[in-house]
A and B are shown apart, each in its own frame.
Chain A
Amino acid sequence: MALTVSSRRRSPRRSRRRSRRLAADAGLLAFAAAFALPLAWVVLSSLDPQADLRVKAPDGLTLDNFDAILTSEITFTPLLNSLILCGSATLLTVVCAALAAYPLSRFRSRLNRPFLLTILFATSLPITAIMVPVYALFVQVDLIDTMQGTILFFAASQLPFAIWLMKNFMDGVPKELEEAAWTDGASSLQSLIRIVLPLMGPGVSVVTVFSFVMMWGNFFVPFMLLLSPDQMPASVSINEFFGNRGMVAYGQLAAFSIVYSTPVILLYVLIARRLGGGFALGGAVKG
């Protein structure tokens, strides 16, 4: 008797739960479809010999669009420039951030708190706002239109967030392991390189990938600081090639977008896997 009552009571609740799940699935799929439309356009158009501006089944599959853009002028030089620019700046950012995070995480000092507060403040400053003065400054000190100037500025603009993340990751590495090394006479630098950094591999890769992805997609900084076309990274050159030509070669534009976006998507997948679910960035920002 009791059994039948309880099972009868449970079944409507379970079915309600199932119908709620179905409703949630349907809602999510509707959002997913809306978000997917522009992405579908870029994928389909890149394979379409007669691409236009709307999502449609391709008139036939072709790789001609990719063929047309895989030249040194359109693709290889800009991508190489992007790689040099973002690679060097990321390297600089990560090295400086790791060095700076070490004393902040390991030693207590009266200056730590004000320093960290300043860093936190700087992470959220709108970099866009200072680009005009940076341009004026770079003209005066002759750094305008140079790779090294742009690299240094990129690194500096990404550094606050990188230090903040790096310090938080470093706090997670227990101090005891290093203390053994210190008594054996290892210097701070040695214990940082030999002990701390290897232990926080995932943390370092998150900082690296995050910095790189941010710079790879950044348009405004190179747009302002670089002038000569042969130095332009892909983020600016795509605009020059397709934006200024009145956007006629939609298939080629789509193909180039895919070639240019693939590295950052792959990198993101890499760290998302590594951290289980990809919620780390949200979590890291949340603190």
Chain B
Amino acid sequence: MTTAAPHATDGPGAAKSPSGPPASRPPAPPRVPRGLTRALPVAPAVILLLLFLAGPIAYCAYIAFTDLQLTGQAESSFVGFENFRTAFQDEEFLNAVWLTLVFTVVSSLIGQNTLGLALASLMQRASKPVRTLTGGIVITAWVLPEVVAGFLLYAFFRREGTLNAVLDWLHLPSQNWLFALPILAVSFANVWRGTAFSMLVYSAALNEIPKEITEAAEVDGAGGWRRMWHITLPMIRRSIGTNLMLNTLQTLSVFGLIWVMTRGGPGDKSQTLPLFMYEQAFQNSLIGYATAVALLLLLVGSLFSVVYMRLLRTEV
């Protein structure tokens, strides 16, 4: 209506006003309910998403401000920011935040990302059978169910496990990894499990760099590292951004792997935020408090998500 009004009043001057939209529209027979029938197929997806994804998120935002408990409580009451205030004074929560940070930085930013790039660039130069073999092994680790990966790496890091056997064989000091350095053990486990994704993303990105460019740099005498720094990395920076974002989001929500390997222990030495949340909800029965933590995690995730969308903005 609002766009139609100026046309009517402008009279002859209407040609000057932006009459683009109506003219460029395809000359299809205009029927009113058509937009609705066309949108109809989206309905099942939208209903499912609203009920089972948007619903829980909204509910999360609500009960994070209540003192809801697991059992024995008829009604929960609104407590405002109490849960958040408790959280930031809770040593265990701060410990979980710190461990989540360590876990994310070590396993995602440093581990998966760098190792994935290293594997992808080695693959560019390696011979085909070696490339296929390595790719196959790394991808198998990625495709394995989370719990299986957890058990495999539990066996690997145990005191009587493979890692110590290898260290003994190399005459290096062995260590009770899951007890002394549990957060490092689970971080390495996550690197083992998640590197394939980075490797695939970077392989695809490196394949798109035209051969002439690297060859020209080579003729100009640029060595391996300089080529990497000045040519390869700038050319794949979009992939780096995407990969870092997705890795980080993935890593923030790892639960099963850590649960199987250490249960967050010993004590709370490998208790990242998802495990902390679980413990508060089901061992301490504090659903409201756990949900407040969940909401914080969700907010951090959304932040990364928005950054990721900005990286992909041109493609929607």
Contact = CB atoms under 8 A, between A and B. Distances in A.
Interface of A: 20-21, 24-25, 27-29, 31-32, 35-39, 41-42, 45, 52-56, 92, 95-97, 99-100, 102-104, 107, 109, 111, 113, 115-117, 120-122, 124-137, 152-153, 155-157, 159-160, 163, 188-189, 192, 213, 216-220, 223, 234-236, 238-239, 242-243, 247, 250, 253, 257, 260-261, 264-265, 268, 272, 278-279, 281-283, 285-287
Please classify how large the interface on chain B is, using the bins under 10, 10 to 19, 20 to 34, 35 or more.
35 or more
A260 B148 contact: yes
Contacts of A39: 137, 140-141, 152
Interface of A is mostly: helix
B155 interface: yes
A167 B316 CA distance: 11
A25 B52 contact: no
B41 A189 contact: yes
Given A97-B45, A136-B287, A238-B151, 13 more contacts: A27-B118, A31-B115, A31-B134, A35-B192, A38-B162, A54-B160, A100-B44, A128-B255, A156-B51, A235-B147, A250-B155, A279-B204, A282-B204
B35 interface: yes
Given A35-B137, A100-B44, A130 B60 contact: yes
B44 to A, nearest CB: 5
Contacts of A103: 38-39, 41-42
Contacts of B278: 132
Interface in B298-315: 298, 301-302, 304-306, 308-309, 312, 315
Given A29-B134, A55-B162, A129-B253, A122 B38 contact: no
B246 A38 contact: no
A136 B291 contact: yes
A264 B143 contact: yes
A155 B161 CA distance: 38
Nearest to B164: A54
A45 B132 CA distance: 25
B63 interface: yes
Nearest to B68: A136
A124 B55 contact: no
Interface string B46-77: 10110111011101100100001000000000
A50 B115 CA distance: 35
Interface in B216-238: none
Contacts of B154: 247
B131 interface: yes
Nearest to A112: B316
Given A116-B316, A133-B59, A279-B204, A53 B134 contact: no
Nearest to A37: B162
A279 B162 contact: no
Given A136-B59, A264-B143, A285-B201, A125 B151 contact: no
B122 interface: yes
Given A129-B294, A129-B301, A156 B143 contact: no
10 contacts: A32-B133, A35-B195, A38-B152, A42-B148, A134-B56, A136-B68, A152-B51, A217-B146, A217-B148, A282-B200
